[in-house]
Amino acid sequence: MLDAPLREALRASGLNAFGVASAAAWDRAVAPERQSAALSPGAVSILVVGSGGQDMWNHFLADLRAHPEHLAEEAHPLDAFVERRVRAADALLGATPRRWFFASATADVHLDFRALAQLAGLGRRSRLGLLLHPEFGVWLGLRAACFLPVPLPVTDPVEGDPCDGCPAPCIDACPGNAFPGGHWNVDPCAAFHAAAPTCASSCAARSACVVAPHHRYDADEVQYHYDRAGGRPRLRALVGLSDDDDRFEGVGPHWQTWRRKVRVHDDRSP
């Protein structure tokens, strides 16, 4: 298979979850500006790459320890790590034309990776609003996608509602009433962030998910994802970089202002 060596190389960096969607299925789900004809003419397959559990975080820390400048010189060091590793592995695809997209909030072209990953068989939407992967549960990051003009075998979709039959401890664990109607909603969650510091560095609802608890991130990784302001100094301490040598402070996630910060095209509008 064309992408087998690429997958092997990415796995070595903890990019360990893969799925393939057909470009035709993606095109049916999104508005013309996001369809393959606009983004990558001739593409027929989309390889979606994720990181399940804590493996990629550990590779990221090892990279920063070996190269503290990768922290000092990058505003978004984890996104930069992903892009470096993907670009390095990309050479294994040879001369095949292709185009990569990244899931970072600062990406030039924004794709809705949860929708794309669901089409690529990486999981299903959960009550938490996160894609729930059969092996990694909600402890799956979505990282990159490659549009290719080569027909790769499409990954079977994960069927059914992953939350069916679950007593939903995620809802009970949420102090912010962020599950109106039984499903997570960004507005009450963001409002709670503005009103109280309780969720500044973690999400009790996600931590309560019963699926794959052994793949939960550790406290450092959780803090980095939920609270870059505190997570970045913690990263500096973990890799031995002094505050004075770091050119950036951590910022984000932007709970209240994400609609302005992320150039999201609303695929649901006609």
Decide if residue 173 touches ligand B12 (CB under 6 A). no
Closer to ligand B12 by Cβ: residue 110 or 215: 110
Query: In Å, what is the CA distance from 193 to each residue of 15, 171, 200?
Result: 30, 16, 7
Minimum Å gap between C-beta 222 and ligand B12 is 8
Residues that bind ligand SF4 (CB under 6 A): 126-128, 162-163, 166, 168-170, 174-176, 178, 184, 189, 192, 199, 203-205, 208-211
Q: Do the Cβ atoms of 158 and 17 come closer than 8 Å?
A: no
Q: Contact at 8 Å (CB) between 148 and 44? A: yes
Task: Work out what residue 54 binds among ligand SF4, ligand B12, none; the CB cut-off runs from 5 to 8 Å by kind.
Answer: none
Compute the least distance from the CB of residue 56 to ligand SF4, in Å. 22
Taking the C-alpha atoms of residue 132 and residue 126, their distance in angstroms, rounded to an integer, is 6
Contact between 115 and ligand B12 (CB under 6 A)?
A: yes
- Please report whether residue 112 would count as binding ligand B12 according to CB under 6 A: yes
- Which residues have a Cβ under 8 Å from the Cβ of 141 and sit 6 or more positions away? 50, 51, 52, 56, 103
Among 30, 130, 144, 235, binds ligand B12 (CB under 6 A): 130
When CB distances are held under 5 to 8 angstroms depending on the partner's kind, the choice from ligand B12, ligand SF4, none that residue 212 binds is: none
Count the site residues for ligand B12 by CB under 6 A.
Answer: 32
Nearest approach, Cβ of 72 to ligand B12 (angstroms)? 22
176 binds, among ligand B12, ligand SF4, none (CB under 5 to 8 A by kind): ligand SF4
Residues with Cβ < 8 Å from 262, sequence gap 6 or more?
105, 110, 254
* Tokens coding 245: 């040598």
**CA within 13 Å, CB half, 167:** 4
Choose the one of ligand SF4, ligand B12, none that binds residue 88, judging by a C-beta under 5 to 8 angstroms depending on kind. none
Among the listed residues 199, 226, 232, 250, the single contact to ligand B12 using CB under 6 A: 226
Is 114 in contact with 140 (CB distance < 8 Å)?
Answer: no
Q: Specify the 3-state DSSP secondary structure of 22.
A: strand
d(C-alpha 220, C-alpha 127), whole Å: 25
Nearest to 107 by CA among 268, 269, 264: 264
Rg of the chain over all Cα atoms, to the nearest angstrom:
19
Rounded CA separation 64/52 (Å) = 20
Q: 20 touches which of ligand SF4, ligand B12, none (CB within 5 to 8 A by kind)?
A: none
**174 interacts with, out of ligand SF4, ligand B12, none, CB within 5 to 8 A per kind:** ligand SF4
Q: Provide the binding-site residues for ligand B12, judged by CB under 6 A.
A: 103, 105, 110-115, 118, 125, 128-131, 138, 140-142, 184, 186, 190, 203, 206, 225-226, 253-255, 258, 262, 264, 266
